[in-house]
Amino acid sequence: MGKISILPAAIALLFFASTARSLVCDITKYGAGGGTSSDITQALVSAWKEACAATEASKVLVPAGTHVLREVVLEGPCKSSIEVQVDGTLQAPADPAQMKTDGWVVFRGVDLLTLSGSGTFDGQGKTAWTKNDCNLKTDCVTLPINIRFDSVTNGMVKDITSLDSKQFHVNVLNCKNLTFQHVTITAPGDSPNTDGIHIGRSTGINIIDTGIKTGDDCISIGDGSEQMTITGVTCGPGHGISVGSLGKYPNEQPVTGLHVKNCTITGTMNGLRIKTWPASPAGTASDMHFEDITLDNVGNPVIIDQQYCPWNQCKSKAPSHIKISNVSFSRIRGTSSTQAAVTLACSSQLPCTEVEISDIDIAYHGPEGPATSVCSNVKPTISGKQNPAICASAAASPTASPVSQ
Ligand SMILES: *[C@@H]1O[C@H](CO)[C@@H](O)[C@H](O)[C@H]1NC(C)=O
Ligand SMILES: *[C@@H]1O[C@H](CO)[C@@H](O)[C@H](O)[C@H]1NC(C)=O
Ligand SMILES: *[C@@H]1O[C@H](CO)[C@@H](O)[C@H](O)[C@H]1NC(C)=O
């Protein structure tokens, strides 16, 4: 008996001893000047190296104040769990010519990473936005993303702010089990290509209680994304919450398992959107569910757009070969800024299947009359309240197909 009861106690003791013994690497101890606006790049990299090599849980601390930071890659694998707590404001170089890569702060190959703190990642994007020419040409200049997570697993990002990124604010690539909670993302509504959080080729990504005001999609979900939960997100200004665009490139992976719930979307160009390019290679997007969404003055509140072609960049009007299935929109309520409130424009080659629409109540107060719902190549299952009557309007002709960016 004695032996059996002592063992758990010993394990518990070991556990508390190890969590209590965590290493704190304050960047001011690594040569970062205490003064305001000093360049902390080298100090941050040194602090990361020591923390990452520690065999106990460790923390890199960036204290309050304004600090200049050039591009950094904070790379694993680390020997134990690691937290980066940013309480200050980090400023990127304003001139994009001073930045050579596509990421300002990059976390790469790290397991058990926490990024926390009351601090701000200020991308100082104003100068760069004037140089963005992606609406004019496809081979446009690549500007740095504020924060990149490449191959990060079992991570948590909480409380921090991303401000005025030059391009996407946050990019998630090849990650597994990464949660964003209580994050703030801010950029002007007219800043180009400043998606809030972009997810691609990742599994188990959660975005919880997060506020996003930006110039492009609040959240965009690219190919190879699986098991995503988005709850308690406020979005706007911006272009809404989007799956896609899909089908622009060969060898894209399926998108599957998306749950968007209890979100509020305000004043955006689009609301809940699934977009695929025409003439695409084969692909699939399935098991995507949107529920309990409040809309305030939102353009194209519910839209499947399989003829997505911003700035007339596509070479062909041939149908998309992305198969969309198992999609539901439930309890979507509020006001639209465009007459077309529910648009389901599916591929003529591969119609959408298993689409369910229930309890839709979207009002439009424009001179053309009440809200409408336009559908093509889809026969949704409809239940509950229907304002507007779902798919009651004639199918959109190619020239009247939705124009959304
Ligand atoms: C996901 O990551 C969190 C945060 O590091 C961790 O607590 C949790 O156990 C992980 N979940 C799984 C299923 O591994
Ligand atoms: C819904 O989201 C809001 C944030 O927009 C949050 O405050 C609230 O607790 C959430 N409600 C539920 C039931 O999750
Ligand atoms: C459709 O989505 C639901 C809800 O996520 C899921 O339980 C179900 O397995 C999916 N059905 C198919 C055929 O994928």
More confident residue, 357 or 13: 357
Residue labelled with tokens 């020239």: 399
Task: Give DSSP secondary structure letters for 100-169.
Answer: -SSEEEEEES-BSEEEESS-EEE--THHHHHT--TTT-TTPPPPPEEEEEES-EEEEEES-EEES-SS-S
Pocket test for ligand 2, best of 233, 262, 333 (most atoms within 8 A of CB): 262
Q: What is the CA radius of gyration of the chain?
A: 23
SS3 109: coil
From the CA of 83, which ligand is nearest? 1
How far is residue 90 from each of residues 37, 119, 141, measured CA to CA in Å?
9, 8, 24
Dihedral of alpha carbons 6, 9, 14, 17, sign: negative
The active-site residue, picked from 239, 289, 321, 365, is 239
Q: What is the mean pLDDT of the chain?
A: 91
Ligand 2 geometric centre to CA of 182 (Å):
11
| Alpha carbons 338 and 102: distance in angstroms, whole number | 35
The pLDDT value given to residue 37: 77
Identify the residues whose C-beta falls under 6 Å from ligand 2.
209, 232, 234, 262, 264
State the average pLDDT over residues 279-307. Answer: 97
Residue 196 half-sphere exposure toward CB, CA atoms < 13 A: 28
Please, which residues have CB within 8 angstroms of residue 38's CB and are 6 or more apart in sequence? 32, 67, 68
Least confident of 122-136, 169-183, 247-261, 285-299: 122-136
Identify the residues whose C-beta falls under 6 Å from ligand 1.
112, 154-156, 177
- Report the atom number in ligand 3 closest to the C-alpha of 328: 2
| CB of 326 shorter than 6 A to ligand 3 | yes
Ligand 1 geometric centre to CA of 41 (Å):
30
Rounded to 5 degrees, what are φ and ψ at 194?
A: -95, 55
Question: Whose C-alpha lies nearest to ligand 1, atom 8?
Answer: 154
Ligand 3 geometric centre to CA of 320 (Å):
23
How far is residue 73 from each of residues 147, 258, 262, 294, measured CA to CA in Å?
10, 30, 35, 38
Nearest by Cα to 328 from 375, 273, 288? 288
Least confident of 9-18, 94-103, 130-139: 9-18
State the average pLDDT over residues 212-231. Answer: 98
| Alpha carbons 321 and 336: distance in angstroms, whole number | 30
CB contact at 8 A, 132 and 177: no
DSSP secondary structure code for residue 369 in this structure: B
Ligand 1 geometric centre to CA of 11 (Å):
21
State the average pLDDT over residues 100-128. Answer: 97
For residue 293, what are its two tokens?
């969404």
The pLDDT value given to residue 405: 61
pLDDT at 265 over 50: yes
DSSP secondary structure code for residue 223 in this structure: T
Rounded to 5 degrees, what are φ and ψ at 401?
A: -65, 155
CB contact at 8 A, 259 and 230: yes
Question: Is there a catalytic annotation at residue 239?
Answer: yes
Cα 374 to its chain centre, rounded Å, is 28
Ligand 1 geometric centre to CA of 81 (Å):
12
Question: Whose C-alpha lies nearest to ligand 1, atom 6?
Answer: 154
For residue 229, what are its two tokens?
């939960």
pLDDT at 4 over 60: no
Rounded to 5 degrees, what are φ and ψ at 278?
A: -70, 165
| Alpha carbons 83 and 76: distance in angstroms, whole number | 12
pLDDT bucket at 135, cuts 50 / 70 / 90:
low
Nearest by Cα to 94 from 120, 128, 142? 128
Please, which residues have CB within 8 angstroms of residue 2's CB and are 6 or more apart in sequence? none
More confident residue, 31 or 35: 31
Ligand 1 geometric centre to CA of 179 (Å):
9
SS3 15: helix
The pLDDT value given to residue 32: 78
| Alpha carbons 155 and 112: distance in angstroms, whole number | 5
Cα 283 to its chain centre, rounded Å, is 21
Can you name the residues that pair with 284 across neighbouring β-strands? 323
Cβ neighbours of 205 (radius 10 Å): 26
Task: Name the burial class of residue 120, with classes exposed (0-12), middle (13-18) and buried (19+) by CB atoms within 10 angstroms of its CB.
Answer: buried
Task: Give DSSP secondary structure letters for 233-244.
Answer: -EE-SSS-EEEE
| Alpha carbons 190 and 207: distance in angstroms, whole number | 24
Pocket test for ligand 1, best of 113, 114, 116, 177 (most atoms within 8 A of CB): 177
- Report the atom number in ligand 3 closest to the C-alpha of 326: 1
| CB of 287 shorter than 6 A to ligand 3 | yes
pLDDT at 404 over 80: no
Pocket test for ligand 3, best of 256, 287, 288, 352 (most atoms within 8 A of CB): 287
SS3 396: coil
The pLDDT value given to residue 2: 40
